[in-house]
Structure 1
Amino acid sequence: MLPEIELELAPPGVRLFDATGGYRSDTPPPFWSFAWPGGVALARYLLDHPAVVRGRSVVDLGAGSGLVGIAAALAGASRVTAVDTDAAALEAAVRNGRRNGVELETAEGLVPADVIVAGDVFYSASVAQSVLKVLRGAGAEALVGDPGRGFLPERLFEELAAYDVPVRPELEEDGDVMRTRVWRLKATSGAA
């Protein structure tokens, strides 16, 4: 879905927990080594609608591989900052940015921006609550890509687009294609 972008990702056949030898709480899996459906849809949206980010500063929250931030930079964002809690993800985002001829700044926490983009971050109740708090308090336009993980409070968002995103079998999703939506946080979103 994104022929404009080339990423360094896990090779075909490698599963999420292969690099950790199985799930262990002290060794996080390399989420950044996969292009998740929410990020793919959001990146496609930004490339198809560059006016959303052109000339604006952008934060890619939960950046992982840097896919959405790279799309924002290619669409003309004035500055893109990849934010992630995983230092390996930030390193991957920078490498992938260079691979695509764009520069991504990095940060471990939120920095001021005009637009916040977040792909596939509503995957658990606790993470969704934290992300929503950040998005609502940032004072920025907030766009998210979500393949129906179940923790996105849709009533607080307006749908902008929907894509059928092909999914790698190694991600063990519910199918080979996921209907993935791009949402914008409503300006007056009320109570969570």
Structure 2
Amino acid sequence: MVIAPAPSVPEISLYTAHPGSGLWRLVGRGEAGEVPPYWAYRWAGGTVLARYILDHPETVSGKRVLDLGAGSGIVGIAAMKAGATSVVAADIDENAVIAIGLNAALNGVSVEAMLGDLTIGQPPAVDLIAVGDLFYDPSLALRVTAFLRQCVAAGIRILVGDPGRAFLPHVHLRPVAEYPVSDFGEGGAIERKPSAVFSFIEVDE
């Protein structure tokens, strides 16, 4: 891993994968149940959320924030830099949890990294939930949407960052902002594409 500024979010540096990293050794040979090292790569949803939060610190200032499906921790790090009182960054990959701690320390902020799937529990004791890029799989999207609906009902504000994945719950989303960012698997020379920040709301379906 090399340390490099995050594309589109140069205020934050991250431990970043490169061709010689050999990260797949952390998960064996891609057998059933093994989690790919998604945390080591930039995802458009997390990038666009981090950019929005840094540009609009009032969104998180003085608030308790949950970074759901945190990956590298870029969104939670942005929230702390923007004045959040506390951040919990949750992911189901134990290697991601380690990476979140390393990246937070690299950026001089304190983020509580948590291992586990919070979507199967009750709404957390936070003021805002940031959801970056969790709608790429149909079953995951259904579970996350159901959880977020519970959280909205509990009075928690939710922001979603996404480049337009196939399983976005569009009926629950209202556009807030748009930024051109690069996406998962794209090199630095690849043209950036528009990705959006949404507010997640409850509606009668």
* Fold shared, TM-score > 0.5 on shorter chain: yes
Letter in 2 for 1:115: L
1:132 paired with 2:132, answer no
Question: Residue in 2 aligned with 1:48?
Answer: 55
Shift of 1:90: 1.1
Partner of residue 194 from structure 2, selected from 163, 179, 190:
179
Q: Which runs of 5+ in 2 are unaligned?
A: 1-7, 119-123
Separation in 2, partners of 1:97, 1:105: 9
Aligned equivalent of 1:99: 106
Structure 1 residues 12 and 165, CA gap change in structure 2 (3 angstroms) = farther
Q: Does 1:58 align with 2:74?
A: no
Query: CA separation in 1, counterparts of 2:147 and 2:178?
Result: 24
TM-score by length of 1: 0.89
Map 1:33-182; keep pairs closer than 5 Å.
33-107=40-114, 108-110=116-118, 111-138=124-151, 139=154, 140-167=156-183, 170-171=185-186, 176-182=191-197
Is 1:190 the counterpart of 2:196? The answer is: no
Q: Which runs of 5+ in 1 are unaligned?
A: none
Residue 4 of structure 2 corresponds to: none
CA contact (8 A) 1:15 1:171 kept: no
Aligned with 1:6: secondary structure?
strand
Aligned residues: 187
CA–CA distance in 1 between the matches of 2:144 and 2:199? 14
State the identity as a percent. Answer: 42
TM-superposed deviation, 1:125 = 0.9
Letter in 2 for 1:160: V
Counterpart-to-counterpart distance in 1, 2:37 and 2:26: 7
- Report deviation, 1:73: 0.6
Higher strand share: 2
Q: Which is further off, 145-154 or 175-184?
A: 175-184
The CA distance in 2 between the partners of 1:6 and 1:153, in whole Å, is 31
Q: Secondary structure at the match of 1:4?
A: strand
When structure 1 is superposed on structure 2, of 34-43 and 12-21 the one drifting more is 12-21
8 Å contact from structure 1 (residues 16, 31) kept in 2? no
Runs of 4+ in 1 over 4 A off after TM superposition: 12-22
Aligned-partner SS, 1:102: coil
Residues 10-53 of structure 1, C-alpha deviations (whole Å, 9 max, x = no match): 12576985764653223211111111011000100000011010
Cα distance in 2 for residues equivalent to 1:146 and 1:30: 19
Q: 1:109 deviation in Å?
A: 4.5
